[in-house]
Chain A
Amino acid sequence: MSWLTMARWPAIAVGIAIGLLECLTFLLLDKPIGCSSAFARTSGLIEKAIRGNSVVEKPYYRLFPPVIDWEWVFVAGIPFGAFLSALSSGNFRIEWVPSLWAAIFGTGVFRRLAAALAGGFLVGLGSRWAGGCTSGHGISGCLQLALSSWLASAAFFAGGILSAILLFSLTGG
């Protein structure tokens, strides 16, 4: 069982397992794996708690009602699974600033959080704009050979490569 305590599994083995997991969700739940709509539903739930039930009438919430659906529960399982994995290999660690960020931009927590907040905002906005994220389009949609997903995935990486290169080669020096 020493493989269970390994810090890293080969990328291709992990990919194959995720591909098999997709087959199971299609077979048993009639659903592709996805993550970003759970964030939209959560922000809808928060908005509903603050502003009242009338928010469910918003056009977007008619498409994606602020309720706890299967995908929300699926996404809630992710941090738990990652926690178990990190614990199994002893690499769980509380970290405010990733080491690569710290090496270029310094160890300041505020600067890292501000960048993550701005980046997260664009990721949340863009994922709903495109109708999915690196899971829903990148894996689930591409494996179904959907045109929307291949285009969106190409755009995710084109934008991501541009953004990271600008950040690290221009700003980071």
Chain B
Amino acid sequence: MKRTSLLLPDSAQKPAALLFGTLFGFLLQKGGVTRYETIIGQLLLLDFTVLKVMLSAVLTGMLGIQVLLQFNLVTLRPRYGSFGSSVIGGLIFGLGFGLLGYCPGTAAGAAGQGSLDALFGGVGGMLLGTAFYSEIYPRIEASVLRWGSFGDITLPELLRTSRWKVVIAVAALLAAVLSALSLAGL
């Protein structure tokens, strides 16, 4: 059962996407996460800005979406996964992440603040990498990508418990990690 009353009409979706993307880029830059030093600092475990931004975004969004879900105003869009896809793909991403020092969204933001390594190296490399993926996709689709497949399952489904319980537990965990980082002065 899906309520669509608050969905924007088709004609307004792309202008809204442009506005939201602009806001996202503004926030990433103000947060300092479009800087190479911030991201590498995180990966070397010296600067926890990236983790603080991500965990507080997950905490806020998780609680907000849960309330909206309660009023039937949103539909969840969990993605399909498998060990072969999520873990192997994630590790390939990670190896590149440390070398590039940006991720796709922050590389786009870094290009806007004048970081030309993100524009020419990062964006250029990502376009080549996604093009390469489209070439090899038919060969890994029926094999690696299906290893240990678990579909679009969510943690409450996996644990066979109510969504609210998991939301509250994860919220408490994220709040504890954020407090610990703050107490440790990181």
- A residues contacting B by CB (< 8 A) are 6, 8-9, 11-12, 14-33, 35-36, 38-40, 42-44, 46-47, 58-61, 70-71, 73-86, 89, 91-101, 112-168
Task: Tell me the smallest distance from the CB of B144 to a CB of chain A, in Å.
Answer: 8
Nearest residue (CB) in A for B83 is A151
Whether A85 contacts B30 in the complex (CB less than 8 A), given A19-B61, A39-B126, comes out as yes
Q: Which residue of A is nearest B109, CB measured?
A: A82
One of B44, B93, B145 near A165 (C-beta < 8 A):
B44
Q: Mark B68-92, 1 if CB is under 8 A from A, else 0.
A: 1000011111111111011111111
Q: Which of A42, A124, A155 contacts B87 (CB 8 A)?
A: A155
Most B C-beta atoms less than 10 A away, residue of A11, A40, A164: A11
Beta-carbon contact of B61 and A18 below 8 Å? yes
- The answer to whether B30 touches A15 (Cβ under 8 A) is no
B59, closest chain A residue (CB) = A19
Are the CB atoms of A143 and B57 closer together than 8 Å? yes
The interface on chain B, measured as residues whose beta carbon lies within 8 A of the other chain's beta carbons, has a size of: 127
Additional A-B contact list (14), CB under 8 Å, known A58-B137, A159-B93 = A12-B53, A14-B31, A18-B57, A19-B60, A20-B64, A38-B104, A94-B116, A101-B101, A123-B126, A124-B125, A125-B132, A147-B158, A160-B43, A162-B94
- Distance (Å) between the CB of B133 and the closest chain A CB? 4
Residue numbers in A under 8 Å from B172 (CB-CB): none
The 10 closest A-B pairs by CB, nearest first: A159-B94, A120-B125, A148-B81, A116-B121, A77-B21, A155-B90, A124-B129, A19-B60, A163-B98, A122-B96
CB distance from B52 to the nearest CB of A (A): 4
Task: Indicate which residue in A6, A20, A77, A156 contacts B19 across the interface (CB closer than 8 Å).
Answer: A77
- Residues on the A chain within 8 Å of B116, using CB: 94-96
Are A58 and B80 touching (Cβ within 8 A)? no
Cβ contacts under 8 Å, A83 to chain B: 25, 112-113
Nearest CB of A to B184, in Å:
14
- A16-B57, A134-B104 known; A143+B65 contact, CB < 8 A: yes
**Chain B residues with CB below 8 A from A31, complex form:** 77
Given A74-B17, A77-B20: A12 touches B56 (CB 8 Å cut-off): yes
Cα–Cα distance between A122 and B145 once the two chains are bound (Å): 17
Query: Which residues of chain A are within 8 angstroms of B103 by Cβ–Cβ distance?
Result: 35, 123, 133-135, 138, 156
Complex CA–CA separation, A123 to B57 (angstroms) = 22
Measured in the bound complex, the distance between the Cα atoms of B56 and A21 in whole Å is: 12
Residues of B near A138 (CB, < 8 A) are 54, 103
Chain B 95-118 interface residues, beta-carbon cutoff 8 Å to A: 95-118
CB distance from A1 to the nearest CB of B (A): 14
Cross-chain contact A154 with B109 (CB below 8 angstroms)? no
Q: Cβ of B22 and Cβ of A84 under 8 Å apart?
A: yes
The reply to whether A30 and B75 contact each other, CB–CB distance below 8 Å, is yes
- For the complex, give the distance between the alpha carbons of A21 and B108 in Å: 18
Contact in complex: B104, A123 (CB < 8 Å)? yes
Q: Is the CB of B150 within 8 A of A148?
A: yes
